[in-house]
A and B are shown apart, each in its own frame.
Chain A
Amino acid sequence: MVPILLSLLLIFFSPRWKGTALVQDYLGRVVEPIQFTVDIPSLLMEKCQLLFRDRLMLLAENIDLRQQQMYMQAKIQKLHALEAENLELKELLKSVGQETESFFVARLIHVNADPFSHQILLNKGKQQGVIVGQPVIDAHGLVGVVLATHQDTSRVLLLTDAGFAVPLQSVRSGERAIATGSGVGGELRLNYVPRTADFMEGDQLVTSGLGGKFPEGYPVGVITSIQHDPSTRFTLIGITPSAKLGQLRHVLLVKTK
């Protein structure tokens, strides 16, 4: 009887109780060794792949990466000019200046979480400066948000989880809406979009920065399906995430200054 009561109390009150994070932190220390043990095979695999790589292949890759870097740097040159221009225009409009962000890299720990919830585990935690609510991106777009931090690991809620929501903006029309994860099939949905809203298939959607949780302008996904159901008041819009969620190895944690 006692354990049943205890767990019912926990289920109902732990989301509201301040000590939950502390308890989870202490219990996390017990659990962390298990997660690191499970990660060893994939870590070894990566190391072995690195060890047995051909020298010529590495050289070719190096040249390729150098070219890519040059290309990116050329793009950034233009970006700096654009950023300056943007700032100037914003000042003219007397609006708030854009915040600058910095990143740091974290590696995925290959651990299967609960198959119901879409979560991943990173190898950076509280000690490395990860905080709850921090946005996580990969090279292509938004990945999710930090849900909980432990000593040396942190748990990230992917944007396809049913409990995830992010305010978005269409690049083409500037129309805004809120997207939530669908929980199945690696997709997001736009909620409560009136039928007259200007969304089209193929529209690129970026974070709008409203709400203050996510910085502005990171790509989230592309609209892949629009259904006008006459029986409902809203349009059903499906979004495919830009981030390559299936092939994640390293991700970037965004730090807003």
Chain B
Amino acid sequence: MMRVFRWWVFLAIGFYLSAILTVFPLPQSVQWYRPQWMLMFVIACQLMQPKLFNALIAWGIGILVDVLLGTPLGEHALVYAVICYITAFMRPKLILEPIWTQLGKIFLLVCLGQISLLWFHVFAGQNPQTLLYWFGTVTSCLVWPAFAWLLRVISQLLLVPPLFARR
């Protein structure tokens, strides 16, 4: 019971942190380099606690992000839920692999998220018309090790017991 409670506290803190990073004002020129913090948070949660995190929670996070960014309700929610589901599917193999293979796979996951978001926007008539859009994926990958480490430290401080039971 206590573990579940602590996990939710961790989720709230992680969400708050990622949300701040997501909307922190940046100059127009570096806007596109902003990593996909929230998507990485969802992936990290799924990798850390597969039994306490699921696509429905990812969906809830996505809805909040939609309200935060002013995008149509359900857009980020759908992307996060799908990515979370795929992450859960890939997890058993992913956690056993060396760091570079992991990074490559996470790059693919973030890329998939970016593609689906772009698809939504083009559907709504908002084409970025710049290849800089894809830099978000690269920077996400670059900050991933630090971000994952930070989340792990926070979870350890909150005494959320790590779950290494491999299915």
Give A residues with C-beta under 8 Å from B: 2-4, 6-11, 14-15, 20, 23-24, 27-28, 30-31, 34-35, 37-38, 42, 110-117, 119, 147-148, 155, 162-163, 183-184
Q: List 20 A-B contacts (CB under 8 A).
A: A3-B81, A4-B82, A7-B81, A8-B74, A9-B74, A10-B77, A11-B73, A24-B67, A28-B67, A34-B68, A38-B23, A38-B25, A42-B25, A115-B128, A116-B121, A117-B71, A148-B70, A162-B126, A183-B125, A183-B126
Q: How far is the CA of A114 from the CA of B68 in the complex (A)?
A: 9
B92 in the interface, Cβ–Cβ < 8 Å? no
- B72, A27: Cβ atoms under 8 Å? no
Binds A, one of B57-65, B146-154, B157-165: B57-65
Residue in B62, B125, B126 with the greatest tally of chain A CB atoms within 10 Å:
B126
List the A residue with the shortest CB-CB distance to B63.
Answer: A27
- A2, B56: Cβ atoms under 8 Å? yes
Q: How far is the CA of A113 from the CA of B82 in the complex (A)?
A: 23
Q: How far is the CA of A204 from the CA of B34 in the complex (A)?
A: 38
- B71, A20: Cβ atoms under 8 Å? no
Summarize B's interface: helix, strand, loop or mixed.
helix
Q: Smallest CB–CB gap between B26 and chain A, Å?
A: 6
- A35, B128: Cβ atoms under 8 Å? no
- B16, A155: Cβ atoms under 8 Å? no
| Chain B residues with CB below 8 A from A162, complex form | 124-126
Q: How far is the CA of A15 from the CA of B74 in the complex (A)?
A: 11
- B20, A7: Cβ atoms under 8 Å? no
If A3-B59, A162-B126 touch, does A24 touch B73 (CB 8 Å cutoff)? yes
Q: Mark B23-40, 1 if CB is under 8 A from A, else 0.
A: 111100001101000000
List the B residue with the shortest CB-CB distance to A15.
Answer: B72
Give B residues with C-beta under 8 Å from A: 16, 19-20, 23-26, 31-32, 34, 55-56, 58-59, 62-64, 67-75, 77-78, 81-82, 121, 124-129
| Residue among A7, A23, A113 making CB contact with B59, cutoff 8 Å | A7
Q: How far is the CA of A35 from the CA of B23 in the complex (A)?
A: 8
- B59, A147: Cβ atoms under 8 Å? no
| Residue among B78, B124, B128 making CB contact with A8, cutoff 8 Å | B78
Q: Smallest CB–CB gap between B80 and chain A, Å?
A: 9
| Residue among A31, A147, A163 making CB contact with B19, cutoff 8 Å | A31
| Chain B residues with CB below 8 A from A117, complex form | 70-71, 126
List the B residue with the shortest CB-CB distance to A184.
Answer: B129
- A37, B20: Cβ atoms under 8 Å? yes
Q: How far is the CA of A28 from the CA of B19 in the complex (A)?
A: 13
| Chain A residues with CB below 8 A from B69, complex form | 113-114
- B82, A11: Cβ atoms under 8 Å? no
| Chain A residues with CB below 8 A from B23, complex form | 34-35, 38, 111-113
Q: Smallest CB–CB gap between A242 and chain B, Å?
A: 20
Q: Smallest CB–CB gap between A180 and chain B, Å?
A: 10
Q: How far is the CA of A29 from the CA of B145 in the complex (A)?
A: 32
Q: How far is the CA of A42 from the CA of B71 in the complex (A)?
A: 24
